[in-house]
Amino acid sequence: MRVLALLSGGIDSPVAAYLIAKQGFDVDLAHFDNRPFTEEDYVERVLSLGRVIASRTDRQMKLYVIPHGENQSAIGRECERRYQCVLCRRMMLRTAGALAEKEGYDALVTGDSVGQVASQTVENLLAENSASPVQVLRPLIAMDKEEIINIAKDIGTFEISSLPGICCMMAPPKPATRSQLDRILAEEGKMDPGDLTVSALEEVEVHVLGP
Amino acid sequence: MYSVLRSCNSGQAYVARPDGEFSQDIHEIAERLCPSGHEVLTDAGVLLVIRSPDGIEYSLFKEGKVLVKTPDETVAWEVVRSVESGFDA
């Protein structure tokens, strides 16, 4: 089964990609490039993480780098601020899902772990799910942070993921933690997610990593 | 308007928050700064990403916060002071 694992640059998503690859899934990676709302060289960190995962699983992987800055801007301009994170994550699932359908992947993989951050409550995850046209696998969903960190240290991604970095500037001061889908859909209706997805997919860069 | 500058956890940026209540319009501030060489790179509604005349990128948030992408405190202060110069008296 071919899956597309979302790689953020943080601690969790490389572990999720690694674990799913170890289960025998054929894994490629996708990163949403958050510039200008992060450092200019952040993609380099993600490429390094991708190389470690490819090396540790002894396979060649593609890493799709998908522009996400305009998505973030559109949400910031049009939508209620506290929904920024949920709407951002819906845009990522929608766009990665469209890429998955186009390139023949059966599912997406994310590093979500329930309750870890404001955007990863059960309510928010439910409100995010419907954006993806393909199944979303979450291998870390019930793991605690220490377990995830230990695996990250074992596979050699922890040091890269822990490098200093500017937090996402678009994160609102008080993010919604119990989003309801009907409200989220109303907010999303203020912009044009379909057009944004098409635009982002026109600008995808593909890197080939590993042996 | 700004008297404290804090290093971001990353060490790659500095953040200044307004001392009191902030009631300025960030788009109007940007308009006043543009003639002196500031360039708006991105308008995300709740924040503007701007490049200073010296090429330093900074973000001006709706609530008045300024995040300057530099590890150099002196440079960050210069940018913050230039932002203040665009405030409506």
Asked if the model's pLDDT at residue B77 lies above 90, the reply is: yes
Q: Cα dihedral sign for B15, B20, B25, B31?
A: negative
Question: Per-residue pLDDT for A118 more than 80?
Answer: no
Q: Which CATH number fits domain A2-209: 3.40.50.300, 3.90.1720.10, 3.40.50.620, 3.20.20.80?
A: 3.40.50.620
The architecture that CATH gives domain B5-84 is 2-Layer Sandwich (3.30)
Residues with Cβ within 8 Å of A40's Cβ and at least 6 positions away in sequence, in order, are none
pLDDT digits (tens, 9 = 90+) for B12-50: 899 999 999 999 999 999 999 999 999 999 999 999 999
Taking alpha carbons only, the member of A192, A202, A191 closest to residue A67 is A202
A76 closest CB neighbour out of B12, B45, B57? B45
Q: What is the ipTM of this complex?
A: 0.80
- Over residues B42-76, the pLDDT tens digits come to 999 999 999 999 999 999 999 999 999 999 999 99
Chosen for mutation from A169, A170, A196 (greatest number of chain B CBs closer than 10 Å) is A169
**With 80 as the cut, is the pLDDT of residue A119 above it?**
no
A84: chain B residues, CB-CB within 8 Å: 46
| B43 close to A (CB below 8 A) | yes
Distance from CA of A113 to the nearest CA of B (A): 23
Write down the domain spans for chain B.
5-84
> Domain locations in chain A?
2-209
- Residue A3's Cβ-count burial label (10 Å; 0-12, 13-18, 19+) is buried
Cis bond before residue A172 (omega within 30° of 0): no
Distance from CA of B35 to the nearest CA of A (A): 23
Q: Is A92 exposed, middle or buried (0-12, 13-18, 19+ CB in 10 A)?
A: buried
